[in-house]
């Protein structure tokens, strides 16, 4: 479980494919790697992956085909940068919102508005049904970053990026037509799906 507060930016150093699994080597800061152990989970652009091995400041993950097909990992290349976050502990301060690390859709950036110290991203999910769980002023995770939904339309939504987010995440480098992982808020999904089930049951 994560909070969407990015702790480090990693760089993909190597990608290999063996025995129907992808192996991704990600280089990050020595401070982030400190005290990590094999078998622990890390959020990579919002996707929860298990540490397979550690080489100084390089973390090795393996990724199954299902994850590749349902996340932006199928589009990532060597030297690309990704957002990293360690899982929260029971006594940690919850700075963002509850993020499971289970990507609910891939989305495309359709427009970017640049300001002096901030940006607005307009994002369109591949599956328009995801918009049922994307509500104005609600929470959403974009490439692992906890953000507040600013505006919504039928098939897209916007988020504001403040200077701190631009400084500490890869979202500052995004361009129009780039793809991102999104995870809709688990509580919003559960509430809406429960209401839908009750409504359909009573029809």
The confidence score (pLDDT) of residue 200 equals 80
The confidence score (pLDDT) of residue 178 equals 97
pLDDT-flagged residues of the chain (< 70): 203
The confidence score (pLDDT) of residue 180 equals 98
Q: Answer yes or no: CATH 2.40.37.20 is held by domain 105-202.
A: no
pLDDT tens, position by position, 157-184: 999 999 999 999 999 999 999 999 999 9
The confidence score (pLDDT) of residue 203 equals 65
Q: Which CATH class is domain 8-85?
A: mainly beta
Does residue 132 come out as left (phi exceeding 0), alpha (psi in the -120 to 50 range) or beta? alpha
Map tokens 């359709």 to a residue: 110
The confidence score (pLDDT) of residue 196 equals 84
Structure-token pair, residue 170: 């890869």
For the question of whether the overall pTM of this predicted structure is more than 0.85, the answer is yes
Query: How do strand 58-64 and strand 145-152 relate by DSSP bridges?
Result: unpaired
* Domain boundaries of the chain, sorted by first residue: 8-85, 105-202
Sequence-separated (6 or more) residues with CB below 8 Å from residue 43: 2, 49, 83, 84, 85, 86, 87, 99, 101, 144
β-strand partners of 114: 119
Burial of 130 (0-12, 13-18, 19+ CB in 10 A): buried
Burial of 117 (0-12, 13-18, 19+ CB in 10 A): exposed
Task: Yes or no: say if 138 and 157 are a contact pair by the CB < 8 Å rule.
Answer: no
Same fold, 8-85 and 105-202: yes
Euclidean distance between CA atoms 30 and 52, whole angstroms:
17
Q: Taking Cα atoms as reference points, which of 83, 75, 111, 74 lies closest to residue 26? A: 83
């Amino acid at each position: 479980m994560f909070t969407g507060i990015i702790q480090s930016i990693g760089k993909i150093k190597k990608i290999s494919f063996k025995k129907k699994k992808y192996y991704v080597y990600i280089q990050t800061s020595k401070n982030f790697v400190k005290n990590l152990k094999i078998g622990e989970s890390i959020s990579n652009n919002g996707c929860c992956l298990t540490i397979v091995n550690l080489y100084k400041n390089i973390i090795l993950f393996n990724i199954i085909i299902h994850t590749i097909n349902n996340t932006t990992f199928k589009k990532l290349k060597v030297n690309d940068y990704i957002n990293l976050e360690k899982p929260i502990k029971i006594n940690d301060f919850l700075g963002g919102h509850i993020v499971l690390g289970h990507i609910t859709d891939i989305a495309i950036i359709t427009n970017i508005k640049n300001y002096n110290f901030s940006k607005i991203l307009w994002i369109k999910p591949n599956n328009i049904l995801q918009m049922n769980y994307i509500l104005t002023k609600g929470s959403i995770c974009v490439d692992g970053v906890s953000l507040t939904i600013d505006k919504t339309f039928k098939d897209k939504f916007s988020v504001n990026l403040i200077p701190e987010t631009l400084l500490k995440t890869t979202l500052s480098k995004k361009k129009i037509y780039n793809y991102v992982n999104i995870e809709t808020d688990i509580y919003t999904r559960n509430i809406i799906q429960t209401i839908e089930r009750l409504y359909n049951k009573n029809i």
